[in-house]
């Protein structure tokens, strides 16, 4: 179809909402597929500026965008949940449907047939590459940028590429948008200094960050973007997130508005403390919520799909933590405590399906040398199970000084293409009540979850 043949001028956005919504309801009624991203896709095909039009008709609807390599889904859910607890009505895009068509679909699904909303706030998680496309369509109330790590380099390109794209996008924002950045991610801190906009920084207080000065191998923002000298980190929370400065050109003394002390994270891990700090700052500065009210919302928060979600499986508690890039995976490993005689069991699921990225090289940037010391046994499955098997085998060899026999590798590591096999083995070697960690990539998380509980509502359209 020639897209230039402009239906654009003929079809109003309101009519499109009506049309696609009707289609959506029919499809759902007939049970031929969950609500997915195709209503948005149709609307965007017929009217490229569909999102702009719909939002222009609803000036009272406030839109918050959440971007970042890790934590988007959790923060989107946190913001919505706390706002709801405080009497505001919100809606979001479905987790994972974070491309433009996913956002258009959410706008269709939640509108009434006249293209109007009974909601106050829309909170959307947005794919790294999609942010500039959206901000040319409308002026969000706030943009929250969580962090920027290496992730799916075959799809996103290098961290520097995304940073440059965001810088361009933030610089072009209207003044009514508040930008909230991670002041302890050098990528975002220096970006904030460049854009001359209303910027607020979140972070953790120095004294609440554990005493660590060692940068992990997957850290990317380790030098000053102004003078290209290495940055000095006085504290590293994880990856390249921490307290830093450039000794050479004196850039940075970061001033973060940390709320980490006043609010309590309902989720484990230092990365979630950053998520909570980010969300609190946004709710306080953009929506004027008090700390007390934020805390109240946090208390009743339930984790999102596959993000520290615990599922009961034949009496075992399986904690699923999505682990899709080096930084995220290292944080997952951090959830497991150190023990002298570890009893922890872990399932790892690796795939190279489209939402996971076709390149599995990233697993070599994960600190599996640390993981193998914290666990009793690791089971591996997924499309690229043996790539992961090789990785863990070498981790076992590395920590043993290169000398480890096949039998001890076998005792600690089991690999199979077949997840059922893996689950059978896990059941046979565990007791009811045992906690088992599962670290899957995205596509495997959906399948695995489905296997455990029988259904999966989440969609991914990439």
Partner 1 sequence: MKNPKITIGWLYPDFMNTYGDRGNILVLKSRCLERGILVEVIDISLGSQASEILRADFLFMGGAQDRQQEIVYKDLHLKKKFLQQAVEREIPGLYICGAYQLLGNYYITAEGVPIKGLEILGLYTENPGKKRLVGNIVVKTEIEELKDQLIIGFENHGGQTFLNKDMRPFGEIVRGHGNNEIDPNEGVYYKNTIGTYLHGPIFSKNPRLADWFIAKALKVKYGEDVQLKPMNDRFEFLARQQFLTQDHA
Residues within the interface to partner 1 (CB under 8 A): 150, 153-154, 157-160, 217, 220, 222-223, 225, 228, 230, 358-365, 383-384, 386-387, 389-391, 393-395, 397-398, 401-403, 406, 415
Minimum distance of partner 1 from residue 291's CB (angstroms): 39
Taking the least distance from each CB to partner 1, the nearer of 119 and 364 is 364
Nearest to 434 by CA among 277, 322, 312, 325: 312
Q: Closest CB to partner 1 among 264 and 358?
A: 358
Closer Cβ to partner 1, 284 or 393, answer by number: 393
State the DSSP string of 209-248.
S----PPPTT----B-TTT-PBPEEEEEEETTEEEEE-TT
DSSP per-residue codes, 38-65: HHHHHHHHH-TTHHHHHHHH-TT-EEEE
> Which CB atom, from 44 or from 221, has the smaller least distance to partner 1?
221
Q: Smaller CB distance to partner 1: residue 154 or 262?
A: 154
**Least spacing, CB of residue 348 vs partner 1, in Å:** 14
Closest CA to 107 of 174, 53, 66: 53
Which lies closer to partner 1 via its Cβ, residue 314 or residue 400?
A: 400
Q: Residue 387 CB, nearest distance to partner 1 (Å)?
A: 5
Count Cβ atoms below 10 Å from residue 226 Cβ, excluding itself.
15
Q: Which is nearer to partner 1, 256 or 366 (CB)?
A: 366
Going from the C-alpha of 63 to that of each of 55, 107, 126, 258, 329, the distances in angstroms are 9, 11, 12, 24, 30
CB of 365 to partner 1, least distance (A): 5
Question: Measured between alpha carbons, how far is residue 204 from residues 182, 207, 240 in Å?
Answer: 10, 8, 14
> What Å distances lie between residue 100 and 146, 149, 462, CA to CA?
19, 22, 11
Give the three-state DSSP class for 151.
coil
**How do strand 232-238 and strand 178-182 relate by DSSP bridges?**
unpaired
If the CB atoms of residues 125 and 151 are measured against partner 1, the closer one turns out to be 151
Distance CA 31, CA 35 (A): 10
> How far apart are CB 224 and partner 1 at their closest, in Å?
11
CB-wise, 59 or 402, nearer to partner 1?
A: 402
Q: In the complex with partner 1, which residue's Cβ is closer, 296 or 397?
A: 397
- Do residues 320 and 448 make contact, with C-beta atoms less than 8 angstroms apart? yes
Residue holding tokens 């895009």?
93
Q: How far is the CB of 320 from partner 1 (least distance, A)?
A: 24
End-to-end C-alpha distance for the chain, whole angstroms: 21
Distance CA 238, CA 136 (A): 33
CB atoms within 10 A of CB 165: 16
Q: Find the shortest distance in angstroms from Cβ 340 to partner 1.
A: 25
Nearest approach in angstroms of CB 394 to partner 1 is 5
Q: How far apart are CA 154 and CA 274, in angstroms?
A: 27
Cα separation, 346 vs 440, whole angstroms: 10
Q: How far is the CB of 194 from partner 1 (least distance, A)?
A: 15
| Smallest distance from partner 1 to CB 214, Å | 12
| 320 vs 271: CA distance, rounded Å | 16
């Amino acid at each position: 179809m020639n897209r230039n043949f402009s239906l654009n001028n003929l079809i109003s956005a309101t009519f499109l909402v009506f049309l696609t919504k009707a289609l959506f309801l029919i499809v759902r009624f007939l049970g031929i597929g969950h609500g997915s991203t195709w209503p948005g896709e149709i609307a965007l095909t017929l009217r490229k500026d569909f999102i702009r039009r719909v939002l222009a008709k609803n000036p009272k609807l406030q839109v918050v965008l959440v971007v970042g390599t890790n934590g988007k889904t959790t923060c989107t859910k946190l913001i919505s949940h706390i706002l709801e607890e405080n009497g505001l009505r919100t809606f979001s895009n479905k987790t994972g449907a974070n491309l433009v068509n996913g956002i258009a679909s959410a706008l269709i699904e939640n509108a009434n047939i006249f293209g109007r909303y009974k909601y106050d706030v829309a909170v959307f998680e947005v794919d790294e590459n999609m942010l500039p496309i959206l901000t040319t369509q409308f002026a969000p109330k706030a943009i929250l940028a969580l962090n920027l790590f290496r992730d799916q380099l075959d799809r996103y390109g290098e961290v520097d590429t995304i940073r440059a794209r965001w810088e361009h996008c933030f610089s072009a924002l209207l003044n009514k948008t508040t930008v909230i950045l991670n002041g302890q991610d050098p990528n975002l801190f220096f970006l904030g200094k460049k854009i001359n906009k209303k910027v607020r920084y979140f972070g953790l207080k120095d004294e609440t960050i554990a005493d660590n000065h060692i940068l992990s191998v997957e850290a990317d923002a380790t030098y000053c973007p102004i003078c290209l000298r290495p940055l000095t980190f006085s504290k590293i929370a994880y990856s390249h997130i921490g307290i830093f400065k450039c000794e050479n050109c004196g850039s940075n003394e970061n001033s973060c508005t940390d709320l980490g002390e006043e609010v309590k994270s309902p989720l484990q891990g230092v990365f979630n403390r950053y998520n909570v700090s980010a969300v609190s700052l946004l709710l306080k500065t953009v929506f004027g919520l008090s700390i007390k009210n934020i805390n109240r919302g946090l208390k009743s928060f339930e984790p999102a799909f596959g993000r520290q979600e615990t599922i009961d499986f034949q009496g075992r508690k399986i904690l699923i933590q999505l682990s899709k890039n080096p930084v995220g995976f290292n944080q997952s490993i951090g959830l497991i405590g150190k023990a002298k005689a570890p009893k922890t069991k872990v399932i790892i699921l690796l795939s190279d399906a489209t939402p996971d990225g076709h390149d599995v090289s990233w697993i070599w940037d994960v600190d599996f040398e640390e993981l193998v010391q914290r666990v009793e046994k690791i089971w591996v499955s997924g499309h690229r199970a043996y790539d992961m098997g090789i990785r863990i085998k070498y981790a076992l060899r590395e920590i043993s000084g290169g000398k480890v026999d096949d039998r001890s590798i076998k005792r600690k590591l089991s690999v199979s293409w077949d997840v059922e096999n893996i689950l059978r083995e896990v059941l046979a070697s565990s007791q009811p009540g045992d906690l088992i960690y599962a670290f899957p990539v995205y596509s495997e998380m959906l399948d695995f979850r489905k296997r455990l509980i029988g259904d999966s509502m989440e969609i991914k359209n990439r």
